Structures are given as C-alpha cells and as structure tokens.
Structure 1
Amino acid sequence: MLDTVAKNLGISFPHMYPALLAMHSLVRWLVLTSLLLSLIRAYAGWLHKKRFSHVDHILRHWTATFTHIQLVLGLTLYTISPFVDYFIHHFPEAVHLREVRFFGMEHSLMMFIAVTLVTIGSMKAKRAKEDSKKFKLMAIWFSVALLIIFLSIPWQFSPFTRRPYFRPF
C-alpha cells in the first residue's frame, strides 16, 4: 500500500529509507516489550508494596533508552521521509490524505508526546525517595505513554493506516 500511495503522489524513496524503516520497526518491539515488563513490575511493586530493586532500576533505564533510540530513528526517518516532505510542501492537499497526514503529523506528534511521558516518568521514578512512589510514578507515566504508543503505531488492524508487524531489512 505504501508503494501504491507513493506512486500515485509521484514520491520516490531515499536510498537508506527502507533500512531505517526496518530498524524503526524492529526497535518498536524492544520499546513495547520493555514498557510491558516495566509496567508489570511497577504495578506489582506498587500494589504489593515491594522494594524497588536493581532489576527495576535497570528496566526503567532500558525502557527509557530504547524509547530514546526509537525517537532518534523516528526523527531521522521524519527528515528523509518522502511522505513528510510531501506533507510539508503540499499541506492543503496532503492534510486530506489519510496516509500522508498520519505520518506527517499524527504519528510523529503522538510518539513525541509518548517519549516525553516515558522520559518524565523515568526521571521522576529515579529521583523519588520511597519505593512505592517510584513504582507508582512508573506505573502511571508509562501506562499513559503505552496507551498513546499503542494507538499511534500503524498496526495491521489500525483504522488510520496499516503496516506489517515486521519489515525486512
């Protein structure tokens, strides 16, 4: 579908675009997995009044790290994406094209917000004094971020736009 839309708009892809897109797709799974594991530990720790362990610190740290790596890949893709270029240079027309608008505006804005929430949640949890407060902060901030991420990923079942679960390199 991506090729069809691009062909209809007269868009061509930069040489490194497919490889970056594949990496961005792969790192998505690291972000989602680390967020889910962090949330499981955060809710269990918060609700069962557990000690915030070294494993919890490592998970919090790597969740934020994977999220930031994904942000860098996403920003790089944003700067070279023919869809974004088309969106910027043909805004009045492009804003009415679902695929182009999704990647030019919706996906990138929502993901930037989600990365910001993960970053704030990670920093607040790291600085909190009490273990229950660390777990609570992670649980709340990471939950909202995960919800935004889940809604903003172009899943195969998404009503906004569809992409494969895994992209080949």
Structure 2
Amino acid sequence: MYTGLVHTHSLLRYVVLILILVAIVQSLTAGSKPYTEGNRKINLFTLISAHIQLVLGLVLYFMSPSVDFSQMSNPVTRYWNVEHISMMIIAIVLITVGHSKSKKAVEAKAKHKAIGVFYSIALLIILAAIFTMKDRNPWWNM
C-alpha cells in the first residue's frame, strides 16, 4: 500500500504542476478578457488536485520510514521531517487563498489577478522545494 501511495503522490505532482501552470498562463494572458467558466474550472481543478496531493502527502508523512525526528542533524531526514511538508502546506494555502479571493472578486480583472499572483507564488515555493530536494535526496542522483 505504501509503494502505491508513493507512486500516486509522485504522478499527481505532474498533474498539479501542469494545472497550476495552465491557470497562471490563463490569468496572466487574460488582460481585460472576461472570467469564463473554463477559467473557473481550471482554477478549481488546480485547487482540488493540490488538496488531494496534500492528503496523500500527509498519509505518506505518517507512514514513511524517512520521517525520523531523532536525526534532525541529517539534511535528508530534516528535509522530509520539516522542510518538504512546510513548503508544500504553505504553497497549498496560497493556492486556496488565491482561489478564494478569485471567487470573491467582482471584476474579471481582479479574479485573474488573484489567481496570477497567488498561484505564481505557490509555484515558486513548490519549485524551490523540488530543487531543494534534488540537492539533498540521493534518489535524484540515480
């Protein structure tokens, strides 16, 4: 079961990254275009996939043999114990706030701007976490 969850979590990251990129591109290229049902759905699917990824990640966090708080001096263990989960939760909070602000905004331009700003910051945090993992995770060198 653990291996299946790890693979699902690994595959879903690509779905989240693609959806967040599509949402950001749509919001930045919208200009003064109306906020369409297609925009709303992409933003919502991004939010839903990020939350599913969070739930899978939390399940893995409590099942993982890599999470060991007795070895916080080890950079790889510290990454999995604290850094990865913290950065990803912050990114998902930003996605949630951006989606919420977009829903509450009245003007289309404000809706696009909320998605563009919050989703972009979330993407930067996700990418920082990915590249931090690359530096500290021996699996990346294989």
TM-score by length of 2: 0.93
Amino acid in the other structure paired with 2:53: Q
Is residue 141 of structure 1 aligned with residue 118 of structure 2?
A: yes
Shift in Å at residue 154 of structure 1? 5.8
Amino acid in the other structure paired with 1:40: V
Amino acid in the other structure paired with 2:112: F
Identity of aligned residues (%): 35
Residue in 2 that maps onto 1:74: 57
Shift in Å at residue 83 of structure 1? 1.6
Structure-to-structure mapping, 1:14-163, within 5 angstroms: 16-45=1-30, 48-84=31-67, 86-87=68-69, 90=70, 94-153=71-130, 158-163=134-139
Larger Rg: 1 or 2? 1
Q: Which runs of 4+ in 1 moved over 6 A?
A: none
Shift in Å at residue 151 of structure 1? 1.1
Larger helix share, 1 or 2:
2
Cα deviation code 1:80-104 (max 9, x no counterpart):
11121x22xx1xxx11111111111
Cα deviation code 1:4-47 (max 9, x no counterpart):
xxxxxxxxxxxx221111110000001000000000000011xx
Cα deviation code 1:72-131 (max 9, x no counterpart):
0000001111121x22xx1xxx11111111111000000010010001101110111000
Note closer, same or farther for the CA distance 1:141–1:96 as it changes in structure 2 (3 Å cut): same
Amino acid in the other structure paired with 2:38: V
Distance in 1, matches of 2:49 and 2:82, equals 22
CA RMSD of aligned residues (A): 1.5
Other structure's SS at 1:141 match: helix
